[in-house]
Chain A
């Protein structure tokens, strides 16, 4: 495959696709939401267990999707676990800016860490929705929305 493809389908993404982290229905949980991408048929649920102090104690996802959406969901759970609700929402905002290319290239996103593997996805507008689906769903769960769609 060409260089550019490697940019999107990097080892990290392929690996998370193959062995997704926290890929289970979390029960009981305090927050959950369902995300759907009608274009791809990607369909996943995000579950969170949040402590009374507002810390994401446990987070998981379950569902079907392409490699991009699955890897993104897997990495999302790893990223928000242990964060406060406010931090998780901030992370969502940073990730959204990254994939929409609203970030300032001179200012590397330290908050995002490994999630920077998605920085090239803006070149594939039809795939941005795949990358952001789990994040929108997580945010929806925190905001107590039942169902989230990227359309």
Chain B
């Protein structure tokens, strides 16, 4: 089946929104959040019109319907990640909460003073700060894998960082500020050889390529629904059963218990042990519909098309005088992070917005990456499968115009 971008664009109503001054909108901020297809939007609408009920706690018809839809979403996520069992899928409010859950629950129980946690220089702040909070509490040590000027992890340095004290490696799959696709499988194998567990931050990667948690053999994996064409406020933590069983609950409340008395509370089984309180029911169900949508579109066509966009974008941007690409790794997602002459990224962001192009400017919650290149910020265009080469043409033309303004 060939990939038909025009057909796909029709599924995303937000693509026909106008930008500033009624300009046709070009949405190149997909690493921040993606647009949602009609299938996801109508799922949420339908839920609140026809299926509003709490889950796991009613005997009435609607509650059973809502529970079934919620749990079928869990099955969709399981199958999407190729996890072994449904109960290895925990719903959270996003990648950030998923990482915090691991740091809080696994970290506080199994990581002691002097133990080592390895992260990388290209982590999003959400995969740095929770470990610093853990360090504050336990006295563990954080070690950082550096990257080269192309934005590729230095695997030899990584090997040297692994010791008998390494307890956990937490690593980003696809960098949101440089687009690098990291060799996750190799990173995991090396960590396991050293006796450490691995958490993969797949916030960006989940929309980039198929993930098979059994093939990777990762211990934990985190992502957010809103970067996978799903709603905001819902995310996933995958964890291997054996690990999740040993971990204490993250929050206390309803649904995560079997019985409560003032003397003793018995915690519920997986995955409910980690889902305290009423979850984002409509969001979880819509995430399931987003996954069905991505599956229906098909990875094969998407991957080839995104690689085309990546190559085309790089070639076009090379024609822009004084443009320096930040992130030129061999394996990349179509994320173009750059600086342009001495024009501040925020000026680029505002000026290009006037042309209808939405990009992100700033440090992208990856200040260590900015520090590596000794720059305060970049301009970043991040593409999804509904973007086109025509849009890239307009974008690059607009960059040429901006250079004229600052001449």
Binding site for B on A (CB under 8 A): 1-2, 4-5, 8-9, 14, 17, 39-43, 64-68, 124, 126-127, 130
Are A40 and B350 in contact, with the CB atoms below 8 A? no
Report if B406 contacts A (CB, 8 A). yes
Q: List 7 A-B contacts (CB under 8 A).
A: A1-B354, A9-B405, A17-B406, A40-B344, A41-B370, A42-B376, A124-B350
Are A5 and B354 in contact, with the CB atoms below 8 A? yes
Are B351 and A1 in contact, with the CB atoms below 8 A? yes
Q: List 10 other contacts, CB 8 Å, given A41-B377, A64-B376.
A: A1-B401, A1-B405, A2-B21, A14-B406, A40-B346, A40-B376, A41-B362, A43-B376, A65-B344, A67-B347
Q: Which residue of B lies closest to A39 (CB)?
A: B362
Are B377 and A9 in contact, with the CB atoms below 8 A? no
Are B346 and A130 in contact, with the CB atoms below 8 A? yes
Are B405 and A14 in contact, with the CB atoms below 8 A? yes
Q: Which residue of A lies closest to B23 (CB)?
A: A2
A4 to B20, CA, bound (A): 10
Are B347 and A68 in contact, with the CB atoms below 8 A? yes
In the assembled complex, which residues on chain B have CB atoms less than 8 Å from the CB atom of A41? 362-363, 370, 376-377
The distance from the CB of B287 to the nearest CB of chain A, in whole angstroms, is 29
The distance from the CB of A97 to the nearest CB of chain B, in whole angstroms, is 22
The distance from the CB of A124 to the nearest CB of chain B, in whole angstroms, is 6
Contact with A along B337-363 (1 / 0, CB 8 A): 000000111110011001100000111
Are A66 and B347 in contact, with the CB atoms below 8 A? yes
A14 to B344, CA, bound (A): 12
* 10 tightest Cβ-Cβ pairs between the two chains A and B: A41-B376, A66-B344, A66-B346, A5-B354, A67-B347, A41-B377, A40-B346, A66-B347, A2-B354, A1-B405
In this complex, which of A2, A14, A39, A126 has the most chain B Cβ atoms within 10 angstroms of its Cβ? A2
A5 to B355, CA, bound (A): 9
In the assembled complex, which residues on chain B have CB atoms less than 8 Å from the CB atom of A130? 346
Are B347 and A9 in contact, with the CB atoms below 8 A? yes
A42 to B344, CA, bound (A): 10
Q: Which residue of B lies closest to A6 (CB)?
A: B405
The distance from the CB of B395 to the nearest CB of chain A, in whole angstroms, is 15
In the assembled complex, which residues on chain B have CB atoms less than 8 Å from the CB atom of A17? 406
A42 to B20, CA, bound (A): 25
In the assembled complex, which residues on chain B have CB atoms less than 8 Å from the CB atom of A14? 405-406
In the assembled complex, which residues on chain B have CB atoms less than 8 Å from the CB atom of A9? 347, 351, 405
Name the contact of B350 in the complex, choosing from A8, A42, A64 (C-beta under 8 A). Answer: A8
Q: Which residue of A lies closest to B401 (CB)?
A: A1
In the assembled complex, which residues on chain A have CB atoms less than 8 Å from the CB atom of B363? 41
Contact with A along B354-397 (1 / 0, CB 8 A): 11000001110000001000001100000000000000000000
The distance from the CB of A128 to the nearest CB of chain B, in whole angstroms, is 12
Name the contact of A5 in the complex, choosing from B346, B351, B377 (C-beta under 8 A). Answer: B351
In the assembled complex, which residues on chain B have CB atoms less than 8 Å from the CB atom of A43? 376
Are B347 and A4 in contact, with the CB atoms below 8 A? no
A40 to B406, CA, bound (A): 19
A40 to B363, CA, bound (A): 8
A8 to B406, CA, bound (A): 13
In the assembled complex, which residues on chain B have CB atoms less than 8 Å from the CB atom of A39? 362
In the assembled complex, which residues on chain B have CB atoms less than 8 Å from the CB atom of A64? 376
Q: Which residue of A lies closest to B377 (CB)?
A: A41
Are A67 and B376 in contact, with the CB atoms below 8 A? no
A67 to B351, CA, bound (A): 11
Are A67 and B344 in contact, with the CB atoms below 8 A? yes
The distance from the CB of A54 to the nearest CB of chain B, in whole angstroms, is 35
The distance from the CB of B112 to the nearest CB of chain A, in whole angstroms, is 34
A14 to B406, CA, bound (A): 7
A9 to B346, CA, bound (A): 12
A124 to B350, CA, bound (A): 8
Q: Which residue of A lies closest to B351 (CB)?
A: A5
In the assembled complex, which residues on chain A have CB atoms less than 8 Å from the CB atom of B343? 67
A67 to B407, CA, bound (A): 13
A10 to B243, CA, bound (A): 60
The distance from the CB of B304 to the nearest CB of chain A, in whole angstroms, is 36
Q: Which residue of A lies closest to B346 (CB)?
A: A66
Q: Which residue of B lies closest to A2 (CB)?
A: B354
In the assembled complex, which residues on chain A have CB atoms less than 8 Å from the CB atom of B362? 39-41
In the assembled complex, which residues on chain A have CB atoms less than 8 Å from the CB atom of B401? 1
Q: Which residue of A lies closest to B363 (CB)?
A: A41
A131 to B343, CA, bound (A): 16
The distance from the CB of B189 to the nearest CB of chain A, in whole angstroms, is 38
Identify which of residues 321-347 in chain B touch chain A, using a CB-to-CB cut-off of 8 Å: 343-347
The distance from the CB of A1 to the nearest CB of chain B, in whole angstroms, is 6
In the assembled complex, which residues on chain A have CB atoms less than 8 Å from the CB atom of B377? 40-41
Are A4 and B21 in contact, with the CB atoms below 8 A? yes
A105 to B218, CA, bound (A): 61
The distance from the CB of A105 to the nearest CB of chain B, in whole angstroms, is 21
In the assembled complex, which residues on chain A have CB atoms less than 8 Å from the CB atom of B354? 1-2, 4-5
A73 to B345, CA, bound (A): 18
A36 to B402, CA, bound (A): 26
